[in-house]
A and B are shown apart, each in its own frame.
Chain A
């Protein structure tokens, strides 16, 4: 390492001069050239310690906008509590509207994180390292959004706690046959484990932050969160064990959560809901949308903070490939649904599917096929996969498509079921839209704060990477 003058080595000076130039090593490498332990550490922690004036403008703009949107959520929810769910577009027959659509969508998005961290860890995928922390945070925040809806959509939200089994003066328990009860457990478990997993992963880095922090307050804060991590061998050994265990625990959850969510529909007798293929294709869809969201957020992030050498084309392309794969599974799901509705020879099933495609909500179905199946096929082309902008746009489209999928499933199945006499239509109101927009705002706001407050890329795991190539060289 070249000789550096003492004053330049001053920790408080976060000049990037001494850092290697930001170079994207391309689709074959997960780390840019010229990095050593110190540079990695500084580069990542600087995202947090960057002085206000050097923080990218986009950060402040983004935070403000998303914060305002979050306030819209506050307004919408306040109004909801005052008036009741009547402010939404729901009715009889369409008893579930945006609330449930959004719930499923957010839960789906919340899948990528744990998948990347846990499953890819177990699969020893090197490209998980620098995006796992980031996507775990995304998972948490997405699940937080999702978690709100089951409560909000209740007619009497203040009694939501009745879904939790607790000894009460009514001598009543929840009704175990209802998938909504399974939901309660599935989602809360998933949220808990995801949080533990994320936090455990953070501990060593929190220690690093503690040591790099300039102000005593921050030192104390990070110190508290680091739970006295000293990086002793014993710590590391225990840590590895715990992390592996959690990974093992989280893996089945990735599958279980969305399976249970899909039961909310599959258990019912409604044509369009009552389908055995739901669990697998909900899970696939969830991962699909999860990765789409990871890319949607990671690509601007790496650009604004010049992290192309840490989140490289390798990551982008890998995610794109996963999207392509899961997207195909989803496509299979759709075609199976269509096929079965014909093959079952059940008049309700057949009508449902025809209505889904050509009925009043036909356009949303067409759009969904476009967004989820046709457009993503461009990812077969390597040039597209290697074009960051293109990948980002596809990711965005997939996000839209996955939301539409849930919309189509929930609304078109409900609005025309068995008796023609009770068929109806569903039109979202401004409050439906406000609530949805609000959750997006809250989600983004939390992401921005996370980036600003915690190391968004796992420092020690990238260091491992450095170590790896230094000693077992390649």
Chain B
């Protein structure tokens, strides 16, 4: 009787096996790349803000210390966001009619708060405390990157759990002397590990990997 399949079917069958494997691999790979890509993690994406605030200008050009605006970073879980008042303390004098700053002045006039878009946004089931990190010698730049060089603010780390654990499991790789915490341009010394171990001992830094450290 007549053949149902042409002779080529044999080779097709063989090829299709290989092709199938490759296809599956590609799909998984693509999915992974997208999932870890900027689009999902928001890393290095600067969201729109009511005012295009430039840390670069304020920190590097004007030399304002982080704590001038983020007042409670050393004492509270929340680093603090400057009230409109703080902005106006300068901008009532300088740039006091720049169109760019109108939202700030409006807020000051009307008493309506400015509504910024969070750049570093942890899920609601994560409880992060700035003060303890700062007090144990974790520099601003360690997590937030060189904010002092950012015209528009974006995050440089995913803030995913594995990223947190990297430091919680071996803090000695990241800690710096307390007096260097707010130094944005601090470069870890070549003997970081050595120094790190010293500091870990000195500051009684624990490797906090209990779930309840962050989740409660």
Contact = CB atoms under 8 A, between A and B. Distances in A.
Nearest to B1: A211
A171 B4 contact: no
Contact of A223 (B1, B4, B10, B165): B4
B78 to A, nearest CB: 24
Interface in B1-45: 1, 4-5, 9-10, 13, 36
Contacts of B94: none
B160 interface: yes
Interface residues on A, range: 10 to 19
Contact of B4 (A169, A172, A216, A227): A216
A170 B161 contact: yes
A220 interface: yes
B162 interface: yes
B153 interface: no
3 closest A-B pairs (Cβ-Cβ)? A169-B160, A171-B162, A170-B161
Interface of B: 1, 4-5, 9-10, 13, 36, 158, 160-162, 165
A223 B162 contact: no
7 contacts: A168-B162, A170-B162, A171-B161, A171-B165, A211-B1, A220-B5, A228-B9
A219 interface: yes
B4 A210 contact: yes
Contacts of A227: 13
B143 to A, nearest CB: 16
Nearest to B209: A171
Contacts of A169: 36, 158, 160-162
Mostly, the B contact residues are helix
Contacts of B161: 169-172
Nearest to A11: B1
A170 B159 CA distance: 11
A193 to B, nearest CB: 20
A216 B165 CA distance: 61
Contacts of A219: 4
B160 to A, nearest CB: 4
Contacts of B165: 171
A453 B109 CA distance: 78
B162 A228 contact: no
Contacts of B4: 210, 216, 219-220, 223
A416 to B, nearest CB: 32
Highest count of chain B CB atoms <10 Å: which of A171, A210, A216, A219:
A171
Nearest to B32: A167
Nearest to B164: A171
Contacts of B36: 169
Contacts of A171: 161-162, 165
Contacts of B5: 220, 223, 228
Contacts of B9: 228
A169 B35 CA distance: 10
Nearest to A170: B161
Given A170-B160, A227-B13, 15 more contacts: A168-B162, A169-B36, A169-B158, A169-B161, A169-B162, A170-B161, A171-B165, A172-B161, A210-B4, A216-B4, A219-B4, A223-B4, A228-B5, A228-B10, A228-B13
Contacts of A220: 4-5
B10 to A, nearest CB: 7
Nearest to B13: A228
Contacts of B162: 168-171
Nearest to A172: B161
A223 B160 CA distance: 50
A45 to B, nearest CB: 16
Contacts of B160: 169-170
A171 B170 CA distance: 14
